[in-house]
Amino acid sequence: MACIHSYGSIASISLPTSPSFSPRSRCAYKPRFLCALGGSVAEPQVASVAEPLLLNAVRGDDVERPPSYQTLCERYPSFRERSENVDLIVEISLQPWKVFKPDGVILFSDILTPLSGMNIPFDIVKGKGPVIFDPLYTADDVDQVREFVPQESVPYVGEALTILRKEVDNKAAVLGFVGAPFTLASYVVEGGSSKHFSKIKRLAFSQPKVLHALLQKFTTSMTKYIRYQADNGAQAVQIFDSWATELSPVDFEEFSLPYLKQIVDAVKETHPVLPLILYASGSGGLLERLALTGVDVVSLDWTVDMAEGRRRLGPNIAVQGNVDPGVLFGSKEFITSRINDTVRKAGRGKHILNLGHGIVVGTPEENVAHFFEVAKDIRY
């Protein structure tokens, strides 16, 4: 059976090592197609072989099918041991690509990885998730937070991305990712994961200046982190605002939207063609506001009808998603039907096909393989 690792940022599935499902040969699936690329936004044309399919789809180029990818990983002693070691980052990041040949290879890491470099000690504890050793509550606490310098604090991330680009060799897009300011602030104020987010909301509504100061530090730091990832090989970067949907629309406009927009604007100044993808789980009530951030792609979870999401976001923004992860517990015929329904509702182009969230614990490995087989066989 599979084992899930999910901390509100990246959900990933561990596949058991056995003679019938070894790391080097986990299924009988053999990819039939190589990733394509190229094309013009103003006048669509059939893609060439210069860039990955995923990047072409984001730009709105004429592609033959929607690109797809998911995040899977092996089991190692501790999450931080895995995510802070270059060799393990590369090995785990490449596992699903070597097996299934998806169109995207996402960096194995966590949105909390930068915290240590910002003078915020933390750990990720098995069975519990993130633990912030000294939660932030006051202006003095926020003053102790350092600006993140990725090349000094997380050089292994840059090294891993450089290796991944070389290994993948443009046969798929290499994706990096970061946490959004409000979600990072939620973790460090709550002390970890939360059900009610009472501490971050108490700070927001009783001492908004303190929270804004913290959000600005995360904004400046995550802008640097995205640029660093792009400079070291990431061809697209996802921004995870997992907890922003705990805010009402009016509070999202104060405590999340301005900082997301600031990140996007700043990154586009230095990396104008870098695709930025935004994910916020349960975002059905905020879709139009997510589009206002200026990102290139909005990732939809399965609680939003894909056709409705397309209509609400408008034609100029790409979408990602949004098959319910639970669908992978169904029959292969059912999985195929749901994938085709999602692709049909998304329409041709500007769509990245994947699940609306991470793969759920216990998902049959053969159904994961089937997902990719169907995705590879789709033609517009």
Q: What digits encode the pLDDT tens for the residues 297-329? A: 999 999 999 999 999 999 999 999 999 999 999
For 122, phi then psi, to 5°, come to -155, 170
Are 59 and 37 spatial neighbours (Cβ–Cβ below 8 Å)? no
Q: How confident is the model at residue 68 (pLDDT cuts 50, 70, 90)?
A: confident
pLDDT in tens, 10-55: 333 333 333 333 333 333 323 222 222 222 222 333 333 478 999 9
- Work out the mean pLDDT of the chain and round it to a whole number: 85
Tell me: cis bond preceding 85? Omega within 30 of 0 counts.
no
Instruction: Return d(Cα 266, Cα 262) in angstroms, integer.
Output: 6
Has residue 367 got a pLDDT over 90? yes
Domains of the chain are 79-299 (3.20.20.210)
Q: Are the beta carbons of 2 and 14 closer than 8 angstroms? A: yes
pLDDT single digits (tens) 103-151: 999 999 999 999 999 999 999 888 888 999 999 999 999 999 999 999 9
> Cβ distance 127 to 118 under 8 Å?
no
Q: Which DSSP helix (H) or strand (E) runs through 12?
A: strand 11-14
- Over residues 171-195, the mean pLDDT reads 96
Positive or negative, the CA dihedral 81, 126, 322, 74 is: positive
In this prediction, residue 132 carries a pLDDT of 96
CB 154 within 8 A of CB 226: no
pLDDT digits (tens, 9 = 90+) for 266-300: 999 999 999 999 999 899 999 999 999 999 999 99
